[in-house]
Structure 1
Amino acid sequence: MNKASLHQQVISQLETLQATARGAAQTAYEAATDEANIAENKYDTLGLEASYLATGQARRAEELRHTLGIWKQLVLRPFDPDVGIQLGALICLADSQDRQQWLFLGPEGAAMKLHHEGHSVQVIGPQSPLGRALQGKGCGDEVEVQVGQARQYYQVLRVD
């Protein structure tokens, strides 16, 4: 799989999410400031609710802007077995039933599932349980992750 193309797909998805959040914030702001939503009595809270929504949407748009900036700065490097899995790694794992899954380890804030070159790829961050367990590992290594009450085991099959 082409890691650079996958990286660009994540950035494109984040840009779309940010544009949607900005549009939602603008719509909520317009509703909050519309003359028709001026409170007529203390029980008329439509304008106040729209104001809260606009604030939340603006905050989400800012978070996405920040995440997008971090992802744009991510430098993709080839896998170095001496260092192990790091940010920017594309990883193929097998679980205890030999089911394979592809993961792309990137900076925080972009957990998403993408379809790339005929594969489903889960984007995870370094602070996720699996992201933490994978860092520093290499091909053939096993990782163990506690998910709720269950313990899951994986083997690293491939790292790019």
Structure 2
Amino acid sequence: MNKSILLTEILKQLDAIKLSAEKAANQAHETATHSETVARSKYETFGLEASYLAHGQAQRVAQCSMDLKAFTELNLCAFNDETPIGLGALVVIMDEKDDEQSLFIGPGAGGVKFSMKVDNQALAEDVEVMVITPSSPLGNALMGRMLDDTVVINIGDNRKEYEIIAVY
């Protein structure tokens, strides 16, 4: 598994997310500062609401920048059968229904999904990968575990059990 290709794909996705966030922040700022948003009475709150939105969008851009920086500085190392799962691991898990998931444990940007080609024994197939963080329930459960371990997470009343079937 060439994880530099994986990291390049994550950075490409994060760049696209940041670009979208910047556009939304600029649009929200323009709306908040437009002359027509000035309140004419104490009951007109459109300008105030627009400024809150602009502030939130600016925070989103800042978070995207931090995620990009964290992934750019991420030191990728190879994981094997005897290496505990940690930051930078690509983990493949299988649930009770034999459904597989490919998860990359990253320093941020949890929930980002993308597809990439993976060479697997002379077959090239598209695999959907999702970024998770160690602070997520599943990420936390995977940290420090090894190949063939079983992890259990409880989310509300739902109990999910996963077997770790590959670690890269």
TM-score by length of 2: 0.87
Encode CA deviations 1:110-143: one digit per residue, 9 max, x unaligned: 3222111101112111111111111112211111
- In the alignment, what sits opposite 1:147? 155
Find out whether 1:127 has 2:135 as its counterpart. Answer: yes
Report matched runs for 1:9-158 at 5 Å. 9-117=9-117, 118-158=126-166
Shift of 1:154: 1.3
8 Å CA contact 1:67, 1:110 repeated in 2: no
Shift of 1:157: 1.0
Q: Which secondary structure state, in structure 2, belongs to the residue aligned with residue 146 of structure 1?
A: strand
8 Å CA contact 1:108, 1:127 repeated in 2: no
Shift of 1:82: 4.2
Give the whole-Å Cα distance in 2 for the aligned partners of 1:80 and 1:102.
Answer: 16
- Amino acid paired to 2:11: I
How many corresponding residue pairs? 160
CA gap 1:43/1:143 in 2 versus in 1, 3 angstroms: same
Encode CA deviations 1:24-59: one digit per residue, 9 max, x unaligned: 111111111112222222222222221111111111
TM-score by length of 1: 0.91
Q: Which secondary structure state, in structure 1, belongs to the residue aligned with residue 40 of structure 2?
A: coil
Shift of 1:88: 0.8
Give the whole-Å Cα distance in 1 for the aligned partners of 2:49 and 2:68.
Answer: 28
Moved more, 10-19 or 77-86: 77-86
| Alignment RMSD (CA, Å) | 1.6
8 Å CA contact 2:18, 2:65 repeated in 1: yes
Identity of aligned residues (%): 39
Moved over 6 A (4+): none
8 Å CA contact 2:134, 2:140 repeated in 1: yes
